[in-house]
Every structure is written in C-alpha cells, then in structure tokens.
Amino acid sequence: MDRPRHDRIEEFIPLFTGHEARVHAYILALLPNWADAEEVLQETNAVLWRKFDEFESGGNYFAWACRIARYEVMNFRRKRQREPLRFSNEFVDAVADEAVEMAAEMDAQQKALSGCIDKLAERDRDLVRRRYTEGATTKAVAAQVGRSAEGVYKAMARIRAALLRCVEHSLAEGGPA
Amino acid sequence: MTDRPAPHDELDALLEALVEERLSDDDAARLEALVRDDRAARRRYVRFIHLHATLSRQHRSVQLLPRDVADVEPIDHTTAETYDFQTQRALGGRPRKNVLHYAAAAAILFAAALGGFWWQSSRPGNDTPSEWADAQDASVTLIDTGRAEWDAASPAHGVGIGEVQANGPLVLNSGSAEVLLDSGVVVTLIGATAFEVTGANRAELTYGAVVAHVPPGAHGFEIVTPRMSVVDLGTRFGVYADRMGLSEAHVFEGHIEVRDRTTDDATPRSLTAGQAVRREPASRQLIDIAVSREHFEPAPDNAPEVAGQWRSLAPGVEGRGQVDWLAKAPASMRPHDTEGKRAMLMRERSGVTLSEPLDVDIDRPGDHVNTRRIVTAFRPTAAVDSYLLHFDPIGETQGNANQKRATLMVRFDRPILALITAEKTLEHSDAILGLAGVKYNSVTERKRLMEDGDFIRLSDDRRTLTVCMTTGVSIDQMRIIVEAAR
C-alpha cells in the first residue's frame, strides 16, 4: 500500500498525538486487557498512518480512528479464536457504539482528571503513582508501603471510585475540577 | 474528597476485579451481561476504563508513532518552513544546521500529554520561537552508556559513543547514559527519562531522573521540570520528575537555587550539599526532604552472568556458556531422547519464504523476562533460516527445588528477526520451520519460556541472544528465526 504524501505528515502528527490517548482508551474498552490493547494500538497506529490519505481534511479524526481501531480489535479477536475469548462480539459492538457516542464526555473527563488527582490526599496520590508505575504489582506496592495486598486492592478501589465521583461532579458543574 | 457508598456496587466491584486482573470467568460473564444489557452500566464501564487507561498512560511507555512516520523526513531541509510542534505554528524559513525530526517533535507533544495537563499549561512564557531556534544550534555528545535503551523516536537512538547527536528530546527507556553539553556540563540520564537541551545553558526534564555535574565555567546552568526550576551555583545535583507533576531536587555537592515555576512571585530556595526539596503536584510549596540517591541509581541489570569465551558452533553461529551444537538432528525431540546437562542448538530449515503471517512471541530487541505473552503476526519479505534451542535436563525432576538451569549466549552473523518461545506458537511453527522427519514435542511436554526465572535478551543489533532457561519436568525450547544466509 502506498504511503500518504509527505506533506500530509504535518496534518497527521497533531491529530495523532492529540487523539492517541483516547483511541487507546477506546481499544482498552473493547479489549479489556492491557497487553492485548497495547498490541492492537500499535497495529492501529500503523494503519492510521498508512490509510491517512483516505481521511478527509477537517473531518472527525477520532471517529475515523475508532472505526479503524474497531476493525483491528475484531481482527485481533479472529486471530485469537484458538484461545477462549472472554467477552462476546455483542459485548464489543455495544461498548464500541457507546464509547464513540461518549467521545466528547471522555475528552472532558480527561481534562477534569488532572484537578481531581490534585485533590487526592498525598498518601493516595503516592499509592496511585506506585500502583500505575510500569511493571508494578499490587503485592510489590503493598510491600513498599507496608500494607497488605488486600489493603492496597481496597485502597485503589476507593481511590478510583473517588476520582470517578470527582470527575462526574466536575463535569456536572460544567468545568474542570 | 469524601467517600460515600456508590449506587453501582456490584458493577464497580467487577470493574475493579477486571483492572486488577482478578476477574473469574463467572465474574466476566456477569460483567458482560450488565454492560451489554444496561446502558447506564455500559456508560459507567466506558468511564471507568477511560479513567484506568489515563492513569496507566501517565506512568507507562506507550508506542509513540507508527514506524513509517518516524522514517519520514521533512520535504526540504533548507527552504521549507520549519514547524513548531509546541505552538503548531510555522517559525519561518531560516535554514538550520539541524532540522527537528518529525518523530522527535511528536515526542515532545506526546511526552507533554503523558506528563499531564499542567505541563502544557505551565510551560514558561519565555520559550519563544527564537529560543526554540537557538536550541537547534546547541549540541550534545554521547560520552558513555550503561545498557541504554533509547526510544526509537529519540535522536539518540543508534548514536555511538563520541558522536554528536541531533537536537531533540533524548528519550531513554531504560539503562543510563551520559551526555556532554557544549557548555561543558555533563548530564547523566537514568531511564526512563525524557530530557532535552533547550538553550546554551538550559535544559528541560519532562520526566525521569538526571544528575548534572557543572564545571565552573558553566555556572548558572538551569534544568526545568514541569513545575520546578533548578539553577546551578557550582555543584553536582540530581533532578527528578514523575509523570504526575511531582518534582525533586537533590544536592550532592556545592549549592543550587530552586524555585516554583508555576507562580511568578515564588521566592527561590537556596540549597547546599546534603539538602533536597520536593514540589508536590497539588502544593505550591517546596517541601524539605532527605537527600537521596534512590532515583539516580540505574535499575539493576537482570541479565545472568554467562561464563566462558565465545566459540564457533557452526558457520555463522557462535556460542558461549552452557550451549552445544547438535550437528545431526535426532529423530525425536521427545522427553529423554535428547537429555543433557547443557542446552543444544540445531539448525532446522534454510531459505524458507513464509507464504502467510506466522505467530511469533518476540520480534524486538530488549529484555523479555515476564510471563506476558504478546503474539505478533510476523511475515518477513525475504527468506529466513530457523534454529531450535533445546534444553531437556537429565532425569525427571519435579518441583522448583529440583529445576535445572542453562545460561548461555548465541551470536549470529545475520540479524535475528523473531523468536518463538511459547508452547502453542512452537507447535504451530513446527510444520513451517521444523525439520521433516523429526518428531517434535507436544504442547504439554513443552514449557513456555519467559516464566519461572527464564530470561531472554535480544541485543539492539539483533545478533546476540542471552538466555537463561530453567525447567524441571518439561522441556524448554525456543525457535530462532534469522535472516537467511546468502
């Protein structure tokens, strides 16, 4: 397949970098396993560039990227049929449609999250940092902070719930936290 | 924030189990039913996964740009308008010594996105286009590395020691590297770190850890993080920034001046040797902390030590450590047929052209030590040769205490394109890359490499493998796919 013209790269890069996080989240919603989603993201990114000549300037890049990502997810699932798939195609379809509809909301959520993280207690922020560090496990984090693994599971559940509530509250009030 | 019971207790518990990888099959079925049939649950699922993805991306390395994009050069280096990816504005047509590579420019944007929204909003107002252009004239020289693994989009990727690097963000994924700036400042980067020289005596640390050693003539050297400015007053100091807005400065020798970058009226703090401060994301105060070298020590190298010297195993193949060459393929690879104290390497097929993509487990350089399995569809355009590395310890051992280990290195005179290490992918590739007439092992006889203390390192030049194989009752195998010999 021909590559897009070089002069379109200046159009592609801001769109790509501006939307990649949301495309990643979209793939993770359809394929809720980090390693699998990362693999599909890499393939999707490559296809987005290869097919960029098919994207009309000024169009809805996120919607276009999601269509390609959805195809790549289904392709990945087809290849994996030798192994049992956890969720059905109906589940993937339902989530895919909903996630595209919620695009604007997720954009606002991402912006609001920064303020919500700032509102966490330092101890909770520290726990989030440790837990989400690449390669970290709950057991390792528990050992680092001197708590039980179960205690860290519960704390992370409480923190994520608090962040979701904060984001929802912020969006209901019409602005970042 | 206050905690109160949420109206989605069951759904939230399932979502927590999902992201913590504790979801049972029954739980998965229940989660699917809730999300598929109830729109409110579906929307909460999307919100929750989005939150999890955002938090994860702020702390992990994620694929930056498609490789094809990173390969694209600007249209005309001397006459085309240069493009400022920070402001997304054209800067004018001034010819430049070093043109910002597109991938590197995207890395700035991407690193900023990873660093959080405050980074974009708190960039100093004096990053003018002219300063940006000046930065293109500054250069850095790589003077030492410690198993440095650069991001493929970083201009330092592929640069040798002593070579001058093109300008742009130095994105180090792991290991350490030492660079010399024009001013004489020596900066040690400890991965994962994104660092960029932005002026004659100024640099930016987007995330990660650096130690600066500043000679007398370069006093005043400044390192900025998203929220902190550290100015040298004759010293050796370390600066650390995480991707959530936390910054720290540690003074090892001499003294420095630190100020908060997010307020105009911040009073600078002077620190001397043995002192350190931290700037929390939510606080506008610099907090005194104990000076520490924790962030500034490279992560330990997990590669096993391989004893012995390199020796020739076969034309184009060398080995070191516990590996021998199996010149004649046995009729059977089944348990007990090929037992030995050491691993064995044998040639399989030569000059194979794959007619369809083949599932492989590893197709990129680096250390592969965890149990996570990412199968990649592999289809090289040129023909390949295949080799099998096989380890079946003598006797039937059981339990971890009786496991046997083989530690070895093999080196090829051609690039290693991919590795197959898992039971299923090995079985699938037996028919394509295995030898006709050899009875290969069943899935149950083979053990997946990359677990139980196994270690695989594929060198950056793709020619050397370092392997630690540990097994007991099962057989450890790896199929090595290399470029076909000419």
Q: Does one domain contain both B289 and B349?
A: no
The domain in which residue A59 lies consists of 6-101
Which residues, in sequence order, are CB contacts of B212 under 8 Å at separation 6+? B185, B186, B187, B188, B221, B223, B232, B236, B237, B238, B239
The amino acid occupying position B145 is: T
Is residue B486 over pLDDT 80?
A: no
Residue A167: inside a domain: yes
Question: Using one digit for the tens of pLDDT, what is the confidence trace for A126-150?
Answer: 888 888 876 678 888 888 888 888 9
Dist CA B79 CA B73 (whole Å) = 14
Is residue B111 over pLDDT 80?
A: no
Is residue B82 over pLDDT 60?
A: no
Contact B81, A56 (CB under 8 A): no
Q: Does one domain contain both B328 and B471?
A: yes
User: Which of A30 and B394 is assigned the larger pLDDT?
Assistant: A30
Q: Does one domain contain both A86 and A120?
A: no
Does the distance separating the beta carbons of A25 and B50 come in below 8 Å?
yes
**Total domains, chain A:** 2
CA distance B64 to chain A (A): 8
Does the distance separating the beta carbons of B280 and A7 come in below 8 Å?
no
Residue B411: how many other CB atoms lie within 10 Å: 19
Does the distance separating the beta carbons of A114 and B56 come in below 8 Å?
no
Q: What percent of chain A has pLDDT over 90?
A: 29
Question: Using one digit for the tens of pLDDT, what is the confidence trace for B371-414?
Answer: 455 667 788 888 999 999 998 887 655 544 567 888 999 999 99
Q: Does one domain contain both B210 and B358?
A: no
Q: Does one domain contain both A97 and A114?
A: no
pLDDT tier at B93, thresholds 50, 70, 90 = very low
pLDDT tier at B305, thresholds 50, 70, 90 = confident
Q: Does one domain contain both A139 and A165?
A: yes
Q: Does one domain contain both B184 and B229?
A: yes
Q: Does one domain contain both B348 and B250?
A: no
Q: Does A82 touch chain B (CB under 8 A)?
A: yes
Q: Does one domain contain both A24 and A91?
A: yes
Residue A133: inside a domain: yes
Q: Does one domain contain both A97 and A109?
A: no
Question: Could you give the count of Cα atoms lying within 13 Å of B229 in the half-sphere of its Cβ?
Answer: 20
Q: Does one domain contain both A90 and A165?
A: no
Last residue within a domain, chosen from A73, A101, A129: A101
Is residue B33 over pLDDT 90?
A: yes
Does the distance separating the beta carbons of B54 and A110 come in below 8 Å?
yes
Q: Which residues of A touch B244 (CB under 8 A)?
A: 117, 125, 128-129
- The predicted pLDDT at position B167 comes to 67
Last residue within a domain, chosen from B296, B323, B341: B296
Q: Does one domain contain both B257 and B326?
A: no
Is residue B480 over pLDDT 50?
A: yes
Q: DSSP assignment of B304-369, as one string?
A: PP--S--EEEETTEEEEESEEE--S--SB-STTTT--SSEEEEE---SB--SS-EEESB-SSEEE-
Q: Does A143 touch chain B (CB under 8 A)?
A: no
Residue B441: inside a domain: yes
User: Which of A8 and A91 is assigned the larger pLDDT?
Assistant: A91
Q: Residue B387 is encoded by which pair of tokens?
A: 């080799």
Q: Does one domain contain both B286 and B320?
A: no
Is residue B303 over pLDDT 80?
A: no
pLDDT tier at B416, thresholds 50, 70, 90 = very high
Query: What's the whole-number mean pLDDT along residues B408-430?
Result: 91
- Across the strands, what pairs with B149? B174
CA distance B242 to chain A (A): 9
**Cβ-count burial of B260 within 10 angstroms (0-12 exposed, 13-18 middle, 19+ buried)?**
buried
Q: What percent of chain B has pLDDT over 70?
A: 74
CATH of the domain at A62: 1.10.1740
Does the distance separating the beta carbons of B51 and A102 come in below 8 Å?
no
Distance separating the N- and C-terminal Cα atoms of chain B = 67
Question: Using one digit for the tens of pLDDT, what is the confidence trace for B432-450?
Answer: 999 988 888 877 777 666 6
Q: Residue B328 is encoded by which pair of tokens?
A: 């004649």
- The predicted pLDDT at position B351 comes to 93
Residue length of chain A: 177
Q: Where are the beta strands (DSSP E) in B214-299?
A: 222-224, 228-241, 247-260, 269-272, 275-279, 286-290
Characterize the bridge pairing of strands B82-84 and B384-391: unpaired
Last residue within a domain, chosen from B250, B271, B296: B296
Q: Does A5 touch chain B (CB under 8 A)?
A: no
- The predicted pLDDT at position A6 comes to 55
pLDDT tier at A32, thresholds 50, 70, 90 = very high
DSSP 8-state symbol, B159: P
CA distance B465 to chain A (A): 23
- The predicted pLDDT at position B74 comes to 37
Q: Return phi, psi of residue A53, to 5°.
A: -65, -20
- The predicted pLDDT at position B271 comes to 92
pLDDT tier at A119, thresholds 50, 70, 90 = confident
Q: Residue B71: helix, strand or coil by DSSP?
A: coil
Buried b (16+ CB within 10 A) or exposed e, B146-180: ebbbbbbbbbbbebeeeeebbbbbbbbbbbbbbbb
Q: Which residues of A touch B43 (CB under 8 A)?
A: 98, 102
Query: What's the whole-number mean pLDDT along residues B60-74?
Result: 47
Q: Which residues of A touch B19 (CB under 8 A)?
A: 32, 160
Dist CA B486 CA B468 (whole Å) = 30
CATH of the domain at B148: 2.60.120.1440
Q: Which of residues 93-112 of A touch B (CB under 8 A)?
A: 94-95, 98-99, 102, 105-106, 109-111
Q: Which residues of B touch A28 (CB under 8 A)?
A: 49, 52-53
Last residue within a domain, chosen from B264, B296, B328: B296
Mean confidence (pLDDT) of chain B? 76
CATH of the domain at A138: 1.10.10.10
**Total domains, chain B:** 3
The domain in which residue B367 lies consists of 311-483
- The predicted pLDDT at position A51 comes to 86
Query: What's the whole-number mean pLDDT along residues A48-68?
Result: 88
Last residue within a domain, chosen from A68, A84, A101: A101
Residue with tokens 């912020």: A170
- The predicted pLDDT at position B334 comes to 79
Question: Using one digit for the tens of pLDDT, what is the confidence trace for B225-283?
Answer: 988 999 988 788 999 998 777 899 999 988 999 988 877 667 788 998 889 999 887 77
Residue B99: inside a domain: no
Residue A177: inside a domain: no
Question: Using one digit for the tens of pLDDT, what is the confidence trace for B306-354?
Answer: 877 889 999 999 999 999 999 888 888 877 777 788 899 999 999 999 9
Q: Does A48 touch chain B (CB under 8 A)?
A: yes
Query: What's the whole-number mean pLDDT along residues B69-88?
Result: 35
Does the distance separating the beta carbons of A134 and B61 come in below 8 Å?
yes
- The predicted pLDDT at position B83 comes to 28
Q: Does one domain contain both A97 and A119?
A: no
Low-confidence winner among A93-97, A101-105, B157-161 (lowest mean pLDDT): B157-161
Q: Does one domain contain both B385 and B317?
A: yes
Query: What's the whole-number mean pLDDT along residues B48-77?
Result: 62
CA distance A156 to chain B (A): 9
Q: Which residues of A touch B85 (CB under 8 A)?
A: 13-14
Testing the interface with B: which of A7, A9, A144, A158 to mutate, by most B Cβ within 10 A?
A: A9
Is residue A54 over pLDDT 80?
A: yes
Last residue within a domain, chosen from A85, A101, A117: A101
Is residue B2 over pLDDT 90?
A: no
Is residue A25 over pLDDT 80?
A: yes
Sign of CA dihedral B131, B136, B141, B144: positive
- Residue in A17, A94, A135 nearest the CB of B109: A17
Testing the interface with A: which of B1, B62, B87 to mutate, by most A Cβ within 10 A?
A: B1
